[in-house]
Structure 1
Amino acid sequence: MAYLAPTDFVTKMIDAGEAKIFMSTRDTLVRAYMAGAILALAAAFAITVTVQTGNPLAGAILFPVGFCLLYLLGFDLLTGVFTLCPLALIDKRPGVTLGGVLRNWTLVFFGNFAGALTVAVMMAIIFTTGFTEAPNVVGEKIGTIGEGRTVGYAAHGWAGMLTLFVRAVLCNWMVSTGVVGAMLSTSVSGKVIAMWMPIMLFFYMGFEHSIVNMYLFPSGLMLGGDFSFMDYLLWNELPTVLGNLVGGLAFVGLTLYSTHIRPGAARNTPARGIVTSPAE
């Protein structure tokens, strides 16, 4: 499981951000769509495991399978490009502009949303047998999640919004660490192990991930959750996107870049004295 030195994998992060900014619109949307769909399936899988076993840790341990698959296949999540693309701008790569970064973020957002929404519709059909009966126990759980993480935050006012934002910051601190994990090794097993750990942590801790929420909340609305689409946007998705941006860029992208690509000057150390023997 060959390990890359920090200067090498941070350079790979910058290269990846640059490549994503110059990617065609079609490829950006296709890769974002598939990433959103695969992560949504993983979320449905993890919630099913949690409900059936009664053990949230079991769901958290298994959820990263989706994250690992989508990154091994070269697909893109908004949380990842939040961290990678700005590095190419900061590094002053030729042709990279703020407009190019924002274009990438916009395309990936809508691609992720479309993929997650597709899976939300498909899973809602399964949970309700084609909308002909009440949701099963897993569907009921998803509706409850949607209520608690929208109107539940709103009930606390600005304290709820602060809690939501901090959970989103912590989420992408871990998720972007997982994105970097895919670059730490040149072997599949090494990549998977490095990605698995922080993703398991974020899911078990209940942090807020904007793409997972693109599945959970539209799905919750289809399954009878007692909240509105505006509740979802104002009291979850939009603050989560902002928190994910801050968490990934501030705690992962900029920290790694500043210390491995643009490190501070080394301190002067005192010269070591040379000890000679009496015979000399």
Structure 2
Amino acid sequence: MVTFSPAQVCVKIGTAGKSKCCLPAGNMFVRAFLAGVYIAMGAALATVGSTGVADFLGPGFGQLITGALFPVGLVLVVLTGAELFTGDAMFAPMAILQGQSTLKHLVYLWVVVYIGNLIGSLFMAVLVSYGPYTVWDAAGVATITAFGTRAIAIATAKVSYFGPMGILSVFFKGILCNWLVCLAIFLALAADEVISKIVAIWFPIMAFVASGYEHCVANMYFIPAGIITNAIGNGSANTEILNWGTMWTSNIIWSTIGNIVGAVIFMAVIYYYCYKTEICALCEAK
């Protein structure tokens, strides 16, 4: 197995960031749509697999199981070349720091990918809410399954941040989340074979999910899945808390900002600063 040094990985990130910023909008959007779907696939697996675990083994094991299953999503994203906003929050700034891209290209990449991720996540939320989260009788009346009840509980928890300190909590969780997500991508780029990449991705992603951090793209699935499932089954969730407005104002806006800070400051800027001399030497040698 070949491993690449941190400086070499930084150069790979910068080069990849330049390529991402130059993708045609249609191509970029489709890749972003797929990334939203893939992250939602991991989130759906984590929801189903963790259902009922906390009742028998305690909340810690419940979180651990959720975390252990969720990484399937990022594995699919990385190995298929899909475009994920939280990863691109590191790729594009690293390309700029290395002089390979511009702020204009960064904005273009982030906007198109964010929209694509959102639509892909919503697409999956609809499919899963009408699928394993509900059962239907001959009259077309829906009943929420145990998995749907779990999905509603997850969604409700994610919009239950109140007041300035609640917002600050989401923001900090967003920073910690994408710091680990980008570390997972960084480690995957340090390896050159599939199994090594999968292992490199798995543990940092498991750590962020099990720790309860907030990922804006995952939440684009988790929260809508809870809202839609609750509406289908006329569930008991408090719609004053769980609705399309609070999805944004109590979570996604602030988790997105935190995710950006985690990627830009704690990954792109810090790693460029740490290895600037080696990065410049490698870029000159290309």
TM-score by length of 1: 0.88
1:119 to 110, 124, 129: 124
| In 2: Cα distance, 1:84 partner to 1:132 partner | 47
Aligned 1:246-261 pairs, distance under 5 A: 246-261=261-276
Map of 1:20 onto structure 2:
20
SS in 2 for 1:207: coil
How far, CA to CA, are the matches of 1:76 and 1:132 in structure 2?
Answer: 38
Report the CA distance between 1:257 and its aligned residue. 1.1
1:78 pairs with one of 50, 70, 85: 85
Question: How do 1:201-280 and structure 2 match up within 5 A?
Answer: 201-224=207-230, 225=237, 226=239, 227-262=242-277
Q: Does structure 1 conserve the Cα–Cα contact (< 8 Å) formed by 2:39 and 2:217? A: yes
C-alpha distance in structure 1 between counterparts of 2:24 and 2:135, whole Å = 39
**Structure 1 position 45, deviation (Å):** 0.4
* SS at 1:134 equivalent: strand
User: What letter is aligned with 1:111?
Assistant: G
Of 56, 59, 83, the match for 2:63: 56
The aligned counterpart of 1:269 is none
Find the aligned partners of 1:14 and 1:97 in 2 and give their Cα distance.
12
Q: What is the CA distance between 1:164 and its match in structure 2?
A: 0.8
Unaligned runs of 5+ in 1: 264-280
Q: Which protein shows a greater Rg? A: 1
Contact persistence 1:30–1:111 (CA under 8 A): yes
Aligned to 2:115: 110
What amino acid is the match of 1:134? Answer: T
Q: What does residue 141 of structure 1 align with?
A: 150
For 1:21, the aligned partner's letter is C
CA distance in 2, matches of 1:249, 1:73: 24
**Whole-angstrom distance in 2 between the partners of 1:2 and 1:192:** 15
AA in 1 matched with 2:245: M
Query: 1:53-202 maps to which residues of 2 (within 5 A)?
Result: 53-54=53-54, 55-93=62-100, 96-126=101-131, 127-129=133-135, 132-150=141-159, 152-154=160-162, 157-202=163-208
Whole-Å separation in 1 of the counterparts to 2:250 and 2:52: 29
Which residue is equivalent to 2:40?
A: 40
- In 2, are the aligned partners of 1:51 and 1:138 still within 8 Å (CA)? yes
For residues 27 and 82 of structure 1, what CA distance do their matches in structure 2 show? 18
SS at 1:182 equivalent:
helix
The runs of at least 4 consecutive aligned structure 1 residues that moved more than 6 Å come to none
After TM superposition, the structure 1 stretch with the greater mean CA deviation from structure 2, 182-191 or 237-246, is: 182-191
CA contact (8 A) 2:97 2:272 kept: no
Cα drift, residue 56 of structure 1: 2.8
In the alignment, the residues of structure 2 paired with residue 234 and residue 59 of structure 1 have an alpha-carbon distance, to the nearest angstrom, of 25
User: 2:170–2:254: 8 Å Cα contact kept in structure 1?
Assistant: yes
> CA deviation digits over 1:163-194, x for unaligned, max 9?
11100000000001111122011111111111
Aligned residues: 259
The 8 Å contact of residues 219 and 252 in structure 2, kept in 1 or not, is answered as yes
More helix by share: 2
Q: What SS does the corresponding residue of 1:37 show, helix, strand or coil?
A: helix
CA distance in 2, matches of 1:192, 1:8: 19
SS in 2 for 1:194: helix
Distance 2:19 2:276 in 1: 18
Contact 2:227/2:243, CA 8 A, preserved across alignment? yes
Determine helix, strand or coil for the equivalent of 2:143. coil
Percent sequence identity is 29
More divergent stretch after superposition (198-207 vs 122-131): 122-131
Q: How many Å apart are 1:52 and its aligned residue?
A: 4.6
In structure 1, how many angstroms separate the alpha carbons of the residues matched to 2:181 and 2:271? 15
